[in-house]
Structure 1
Amino acid sequence: MSVLEPLAARYAHWLGLPAESTVDTSDEDPAEVRAMPVILRMERAEPPSRTALLEAAAAAAVAVCLDERALPGGDWHDPLKAWVDGRIRKVARRARGAHWQAVQELPGITVEVDGAEARALLPGRVVESPKEVSRLQISGSELPADEPGPAPDGLPRLLLNPEVSMTVGKGAAQVGHATMILASVLDEAELAAWAATGFRCSVRTPPVATWKALCPVEDPEGSWRRDGVVAVRDAGFTEVDPGTVTVIAQRA
């Protein structure tokens, strides 16, 4: 059983799975808030391209969740389950040099895409973040928009909302949410095929007209059946208003 199964019930309610459609955190104890750290390698001399870095972060996040260690009985299962059962918060931080090397020693998975590297770490309580993580900056360096070209065939597409501005850190968290939600609703054959690619995906910003045609706000079930898309709605803790659709993920 995948640790991501609760997400299918929460974000794809039309499947009729027995779970709450939202997670109530109104009385959440701050000491119990959990998050997945996503570490973005941003060397000063050779910064990565924005698109490649987002693609690496998206693949790393879902790879942690579907690693064999995340299966019941595995070393990662209990921390991941405790996190997924609440809000799937992620905190993106930037690292370079020795600080980047230090986080390689923490439980997680690093993905490299076209020279860009991101490492998703095992989620845990934010107040218990190891010093290798807590000393890293959340805000700061930004990367310019790039022109990645057409999305390759045969890979899931992650489409960023063209009407919403997000920092690279915010974008990394959102595309990580998107790959997790998509993985939770794919069938076994689709998931196995995706895993064989190392969970590679494309990240693109579509024209506004394309976004509006695909965005599954009005008919999420029909959008999934027809276009194979699911949406990420942001909780509104940072940068965007609550309920904003930040990313739509489209099956390969």
Structure 2
Amino acid sequence: MSILEPLAARYATWLRLPAEATNDTGDEDPALVRAMPIVLRVERDPQPCRTALLEAAAAASIAVCLDERAEPEGPWHDDVDVWVRGRIRKVSRRARGAHWEAVQDLPGVTITVDGAEARAFVPGLVVETPKVLSRLQISGSELPPDEPGPAPDQGPVLWLNPGVPMTVGKGAAQVGHATMLLAALLHASGRDDDLKTWTANDFRCAVRTPTPGQWRELHPGDDPDTAWRTHGTTAVRDAGFTEVAPGTVTVIAQWRP
């Protein structure tokens, strides 16, 4: 679990940064940029439900990080560790048919939720993305909104910003960030029993869109530490490289005991 400690340590600092500072890459060398690829299975018929697909992507992202192969002596550890210590980038792509089957051979974890499938892969250098992944489209095949029903009373809920439209690919990356933050904060606050229960449940979580009023109540504001202690909430703040403005809070993750 120590692999996520760097993320928990810098969470509050990141939320307090000025918006324009969130996408300041300084002298970052493009050849050294790392990202976690996520592939969403989007067949023509039947198409997956948008909410279930986002829930699968959210679970797959944290499953890679907390897989036993990412532990200190495991084959994934070094790649996951160096990525977590830097900027947490994810790149979502879509696949169907033979292209979906082909990516199953790459190291990662596939999660299925209500028939929707997503696979998150071990992060690596973007310039070294395997061709079987790089040939997949990032945009397109947008899925219509669906009505998933009320969020459960217990466990993790990932609340999407109701005022910020996102493609399913962007949303998949954001909810993946959210589950990583939840896991890191659960561990940092000594709630490893909750984390073990979540792990045993294959990191299942609910993705929902709140009303604007609910969003305002959930938002951690200027005191993320208190928000976590009192309401179990944490926020994903985007760097603004794609789709949304720098500093935008895209997802509020909530742990309901």
Shorter-chain TM-score tier? over 0.9
Alpha-carbon distance, 1:73 to partner: 1.3
Amino acid at match of 1:251: W
Q: Does 1:88 align with 2:88?
A: yes
Map 1:70-219 onto structure 2 (within 5 A). Answer: 70-186=70-186, 187-219=191-223
Contact kept? 2:23, 2:240, Cα under 8 Å: no
Alpha-carbon distance, 1:222 to partner: 1.6
Amino acid at match of 1:105: D
User: Alignment length, in residue pairs?
Assistant: 246
Amino acid at match of 1:237: F
Tell me how far apart the structure 1 counterparts of residues 25 and 233 of structure 2 sit (CA, whole Å).
Answer: 27
Alpha-carbon distance, 1:69 to partner: 0.7
Task: Choose from 224, 232, 241 the match for 1:237.
Answer: 241
Tell me how far apart the structure 2 counterparts of residues 89 and 43 of structure 1 sit (CA, whole Å).
Answer: 25
Tell me how far apart the structure 1 counterparts of residues 103 and 185 of structure 2 sit (CA, whole Å).
Answer: 31
Alpha-carbon distance, 1:50 to partner: 0.3
| Offset from partner CA, 1:30-74 (integer Å, 9 cap, x none) | 000000000000001111000000000000000000001111111
| Offset from partner CA, 1:157-206 (integer Å, 9 cap, x none) | 00000010100000000000000011001021111011011000000000
Q: Which has the higher contact order (CA 8 A, sep 6+)?
A: 2
Percent of aligned pairs with the same amino acid: 70
Tell me how far apart the structure 2 counterparts of residues 98 and 2 of structure 1 sit (CA, whole Å).
Answer: 37
Amino acid at match of 1:249: A
Tell me how far apart the structure 2 counterparts of residues 25 and 76 of structure 1 sit (CA, whole Å).
Answer: 26
RMSD: 1.6
| Offset from partner CA, 1:109-129 (integer Å, 9 cap, x none) | 000000000000000000000
The gaps in structure 1 that reach 5 residues or longer are 14-21
Contact kept? 2:80, 2:122, Cα under 8 Å: yes
Amino acid at match of 1:244: T
Contact kept? 1:23, 1:87, Cα under 8 Å: no
Equivalent residue number for residue 60 of structure 2: 60
Tell me how far apart the structure 1 counterparts of residues 2 and 254 of structure 2 sit (CA, whole Å).
Answer: 20
Q: 1:85 to 1:24 in 2, by over 3 A?
A: farther
Equivalent residue number for residue 248 of structure 1: 252
Alpha-carbon distance, 1:23 to partner: 9.5
Tell me how far apart the structure 2 counterparts of residues 134 and 199 of structure 1 sit (CA, whole Å).
Answer: 27
Alpha-carbon distance, 1:26 to partner: 1.1
3-state SS of 2:229 partner: helix
Equivalent residue number for residue 19 of structure 1: none
